Amino acid sequence: MKLKRNMSPVAFLFCIIGAIIGSGWLLGPFFAAKIAGPAAMLSWVIGGIMMMVILLSYAELCTLLPIAGGTTRYLQFSHGTLASFTIGWITWLATVPVGPIETLAILHYASNYLPWLMANDGGAGMLSLNGFLIAAVLLFIMTVINVFGAQLLAKTNNVIVFFKLLVPILTLVILFSIGFHPANLESHGFSPMGWKGVLTALPAAGVVFSLMGCHAALQFAGEVRNPQRSIPLCIMAGLLICTCLYVLLQLAFVAALNPHDFRHGWASLSFAGDMGPFVGLTAALGAIWLTKILFIDAIISPYGCALVYTGAAARLTYALAENGYFPHELMKLNSFGVSVRILTLNYIAGLLLFLPFPTWQAMMSFLVSALILGYAVGPLALNVFRKSMKHRKRPFRVPFPQVTSYLGFYFCNLIILWTGWSVISKMMIAILLGYGILAWYKLRASQEKFPLHLEHGWWLFPYIAGMGLLSYLCTFGGGLSLIPFGWDFVAVAILSLIIYIFAQRGGLDKDEYREIIDAELREVL
C-alpha cells in the first residue's frame, strides 16, 4: 500500500494557511506589543522575510523529491544516518505536541465560560479531570479525521480555513472602522525597546511559531497533485498571505487600544479581558456581536491548526520509520493510505502531554527552537543535492543557491539563539536523549544495515555545542550577556558559515540512495 497523491493544489494552499493561522493571531499581537510596542509590526515583517528565505530551499527540494515526511528524509539522502536521526528526532519531539498544545489553548479560552475545564493549582491553570477527558476526545476526533487520509483532511481543513480567514479579516475591518487611533503608534515611541525588542518578539511572542506552520504542510508533499508546479507556488503564496494578514492585525490591535491601557509604557500593557486580547478589545469598543464570533474562532483556529499538525506528525513518523529509526511495522497503511498504528502512537504520546506540567509556556519556546532546527535541513541539503543529483529534473530552481542556502541556515540559527539559553539547554538534553536511542539501535544492527555515516555528519557535534555556547554567552533567555547585543549577530554568522562549509563538504558525494529514491518516486509520481 502506498501514499495516495490526491490533494489538490488549492487544498495544499489551504493546508499551509490552516497551519499558519492558529492561536497565534488571537494571542501574538498582544504579547508582541508588550515586548516591542508598535514596532511589533516589524517583527512580523522580519519573521515573514526570514521564513521566505528559509522556505526557498524547500520549494526546490519538495519539487525535486516530493515524498511524505521529506523534511526528515532529505538529510538522510544528503548526509546520512547521524545527521538525519538528530534532526528527525528533535523535529518529532516538537511536531507531535503541537496538536495537544493547540487543544490545550482551546480549553484555556473555553474555561472563561466553562470553568470546570480547568483547576487552579497555586495560580497555574491546569486541566481538571473533566478537562482532560474533553481534551482526549478533541484529540481523538483529530486522529479519526486523519485516519481517512489526506483527502478528507483537506476537505475538513478547507471549511475551517475559510472561517479562519473570514474572522480575522472581519476583525480588521471593524477595528479600522471604529477604533483606529494613529497617535498610539508614537505616543510612547514607535520602538521603545529598540531592535532587541523587535527581535525578541519573534520567538517570545509567538511570531515565529505562527509563521512556522508551513513546516507541517510540507509533510504532505508526497500527496499533492502536480507537485512540481503546485508546491513552490503554494508555499510562497501561503506565507505571503499570512504574513500580510498578521502585520495588518498587529497594526489594527495597537491602533485600537485605549491609551489608558499602556499609560505606563508598552511593557505594562493590560486591559479588561486581555486573556483573550481581541475579545477584550472588541468588547471595549462595543462590538459585542464580533466578540461572540471571536469566542467561536478561539476554538476553530487552534483546532484547525492542530488538525493539520496531527496529520503532519503522522507523515513525519512514517518518514522516521522509513529511515529505520522507528519499527517498520508502523508503516502498514490502511485503504486510505494512512498508518493507523502511527496515529495511535502519536495519540497516546499526545495524551501524556495533557498532564498538568507547570512549564507549558516554556514548552512553547522549546517547540520554536526545535522546529526551527528542523528547518535547517533544507538549506544544508539543497546544494549537496545539486551535486549528487545532477541527473534529476528540477522544475523549480532556487536563484543564487549558495547565498540563499547560507542565509536560510543563518536565519535558522538566529531564531534559535533568540529563544534563549534556558530553552536551548533543554533542547541539548533532548538531543542527548535521542543519541542514547540511536546507540541502542546501533547495538542491535550491523554496520551494513545501520551505517552511521559519521564522516558525513560529524559537523553536528560542533554545531550543537557552538550554538549552546553562544546562547549561554549572549543576552537572550538567561545568558551571561558576555557577548553584547549586535555582536551576537556576527558570532552566529561566523559559526553558521563554518558549519555550512563543513556540511557542504561532508555531504554524500554520490547518489548513495539513488535506488531507494527512484523506487519511492515511481510510487508517488
For every residue of 103-166, DSSP letters joined together read HHHHHHHHTTT-GGGEEEETTEEEE-HHHHHHHHHHHHHHHHHHHTHHHHHHHHHHHHHHHHHH
**Model pLDDT, residue 436:** 85
**Model pLDDT, residue 152:** 60
**pLDDT range class, residue 147, cuts 50, 70, 90:** confident
User: Which of 410, 498, 408, 490 has its CA nearest to residue 460?
Assistant: 498
Contacts of 516 (CB under 8 A, 6+ apart): none
Looking up residue 186, the CATH number of its domain turns out to be: 1.20.1740.10
User: Which of 250, 301, 281, 280 has its CA nearest to residue 35?
Assistant: 250
Q: Average pLDDT for residues 417-432, to the nearest whole number?
A: 86
Asked, for residue 4, whether it belongs to a domain, the answer is no
Asked, for residue 460, whether it belongs to a domain, the answer is yes
Report pLDDT digits (tens) over 327-381: 778 878 777 777 888 888 888 887 876 664 433 455 566 777 777 887 888 898 8
- Spatial distance between the Cα atoms of 18 and 45, rounded to a whole number of angstroms: 19
Asked, for residue 3, whether it belongs to a domain, the answer is no
Q: Average pLDDT for residues 7-11, to the nearest whole number?
A: 78
Burial profile 451-467: b = 16 or more Cβ within 10 angstroms, e = fewer: ebbeebbbbbeebbebb
**Model pLDDT, residue 405:** 93
**Model pLDDT, residue 448:** 54
DSSP secondary structure letters along 219-266: TTGGGBSSHHHHHHHHHHHHHHHHHHHHHHHHHHHHHHS-GGGGTT-G
Q: Average pLDDT for residues 47-72, to the nearest whole number?
A: 81
**Model pLDDT, residue 358:** 35
**Model pLDDT, residue 69:** 62
**Model pLDDT, residue 392:** 76
Rg over alpha carbons for the chain, rounded to the nearest Å, is: 22
Asked, for residue 1, whether it belongs to a domain, the answer is no
**pLDDT range class, residue 157, cuts 50, 70, 90:** low
Q: Is 7 helix (H, G, I), strand (E, B) or coil?
A: strand
Say whether pLDDT at 27 is over 70: yes
**Model pLDDT, residue 419:** 84
Q: Average pLDDT for residues 385-403, to the nearest whole number?
A: 83
% of the chain residues with pLDDT over 90: 20
Report pLDDT digits (tens) over 203-217: 877 788 788 777 666
Q: Average pLDDT for residues 212-233, to the nearest whole number?
A: 72
User: Which of 210, 235, 236 has its CA nearest to residue 221?
Assistant: 235
Q: Average pLDDT for residues 29-44, to the nearest whole number?
A: 93
Q: What are the grid coordinates assigned to 152, written together?
A: 478528507
Say whether pLDDT at 413 is over 90: yes
Choice among 56-65, 234-243, 320-329, 466-475 with the minimum mean pLDDT:
320-329
Chain-centre distance for alpha carbon 100: 14
**Model pLDDT, residue 356:** 42
| 151 or 440: which leads in pLDDT | 440
Q: What are the grid coordinates assigned to 142, written together?
A: 483529530
Whole-number average pLDDT of the chain: 81
Beta-ladder partners of 125 = 120
Q: Average pLDDT for residues 486-501, to the nearest whole number?
A: 94
Say whether pLDDT at 71 is over 70: no
Q: Average pLDDT for residues 180-204, to the nearest whole number?
A: 88
Say whether pLDDT at 225 is over 70: yes
Indicate the pTM of the whole model. 0.81
Q: What are the grid coordinates assigned to 314, written together?
A: 503522522
Contacts of 282 (CB under 8 A, 6+ apart): 171, 174, 175, 288, 290, 291, 294
Say whether pLDDT at 127 is over 80: no
**Into how many domains does the chain fold?**
1
Q: Is 80 helix (H, G, I), strand (E, B) or coil?
A: coil
**pLDDT range class, residue 464, cuts 50, 70, 90:** very high
| Backbone torsion region of residue 472, taken as left when φ is above 0, otherwise alpha when ψ lies between -120 and 50, otherwise beta | alpha
Say whether pLDDT at 525 is over 90: no
Q: Average pLDDT for residues 295-316, to the nearest whole number?
A: 79
**Model pLDDT, residue 360:** 46
**Model pLDDT, residue 515:** 64
- Spatial distance between the Cα atoms of 364 and 175, rounded to a whole number of angstroms: 29
Asked, for residue 176, whether it belongs to a domain, the answer is yes
Dihedral angle, C-alpha 270, 275, 281, 282, nearest 10 °: -170
Which residue range is the domain that position 502 belongs to? 9-357+366-524
Beta-ladder partners of 330 = none
Asked, for residue 370, whether it belongs to a domain, the answer is yes
Choice among 67-76, 307-316, 383-392 with the minimum mean pLDDT:
67-76
Asked, for residue 273, whether it belongs to a domain, the answer is yes
Asked, for residue 217, whether it belongs to a domain, the answer is yes
Q: Average pLDDT for residues 52-73, to the nearest whole number?
A: 78
- Counting every residue written for the chain, the total comes to 525
Is the Cβ–Cβ distance between 77 and 513 less than 8 Å?
yes
User: Which of 412, 17, 418 has its CA nearest to residue 244?
Assistant: 17
Q: What are the grid coordinates assigned to 476, written together?
A: 537572550
Say whether pLDDT at 102 is over 80: no
Contacts of 490 (CB under 8 A, 6+ apart): none
Say whether pLDDT at 124 is over 50: no
Q: Average pLDDT for residues 450-470, to the nearest whole number?
A: 89
Beta-ladder partners of 119 = 126
